[in-house]
């Protein structure tokens, strides 16, 4: 097999959905994707609406047995990873293998300090839009990191 290419993405001020679709496409093409600063991803719209959507998802997942699941994470890296998974054909082998090639981190880990990160122009948000950071929403819902 050929050596896989690895992409390092800085997610600061990137829109959640656009970043997730870009990462999903690259993973399906066979490239390793590493995303840092997941807590600084932007969700456009009002903070109340974004909070409501994530709160409903968490409440629906916690209706079952709390010890057995299903469970929905409140951590920003897991929320971003789940958004990427939603854009992959996860029920097929190709999608599951692509999902294994995606790594998401909160802030920048020590082993990636010297790496060159790319900022995505396609995922950048304009300053005119209302927005809230994913880390803020997750902290309000009870995430601790």
pLDDT digits over 77-86, tens only?
Answer: 999 999 999 9
Whether 145 is covered by a domain: the verdict is: no
Whether 101 is covered by a domain: the verdict is: yes
Which residue is it, tokens 């968490």? 58
Position 3 pLDDT exceeds 90: no
Whether 34 is covered by a domain: the verdict is: yes
pLDDT digits over 19-35, tens only?
Answer: 999 999 999 999 999 99
Contact (CB, 8 A) for 99 and 5? no
Domain of residue 59, residue span? 6-140
Q: Kindly state the DSSP code that residue 107 receives in the 8-state scheme.
A: S
Whether 1 is covered by a domain: the verdict is: no
Q: What is the C-alpha separation between 24 and 87, in angstroms, rounded?
A: 6
- Tokens in use for 28? 């399906």
pLDDT digits over 53-73, tens only?
Answer: 888 887 776 566 767 766 788
Asked if residue 70 has a cis previous peptide bond (ω within 30° of 0), the answer is yes
Mean pLDDT of the chain: 90
**Integer angstrom CA distances of residue 1 from 4, 23, 38, 85:** 9, 22, 31, 25
Whether 10 is covered by a domain: the verdict is: yes
CATH number of 107's domain = 3.90.1180.10
Number of domains in the chain: 1
Whether 70 is covered by a domain: the verdict is: yes
Q: What is the C-alpha separation between 75 and 102, in angstroms, rounded?
A: 16
pLDDT of residue 56: 84
Burial environment of residue 120 by CB neighbours within 10 A (0 to 12, 13 to 18, 19 or more): middle
Q: What is the Cα gyration radius of the chain?
A: 16
């Amino acid at each position: 097999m050929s050596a896989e290419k690895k992409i390092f993405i800085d997610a600061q001020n990137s829109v959640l959905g656009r970043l997730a679709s870009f990462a999903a496409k690259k993973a399906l093409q066979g490239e390793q994707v590493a995303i840092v600063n997941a807590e600084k991803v932007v969700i456009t719209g009002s903070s109340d609406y974004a909070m409501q959507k994530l709160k409903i998802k968490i409440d629906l997942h916690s209706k079952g047995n709390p010890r057995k699941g299903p469970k929905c994470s409140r951590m920003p890296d897991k929320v971003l990873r789940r958004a990427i998974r939603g854009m992959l054909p996860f029920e097929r082998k190709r999608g599951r293998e692509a999902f294994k090639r995606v790594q998401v981190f909160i802030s920048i880990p020590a082993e990636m300090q010297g790496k060159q990160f790319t900022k995505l122009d396609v995922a950048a948000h304009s300053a005119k839009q209302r927005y809230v950071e994913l880390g803020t929403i997750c902290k309000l819902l009870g995430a601790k990191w």
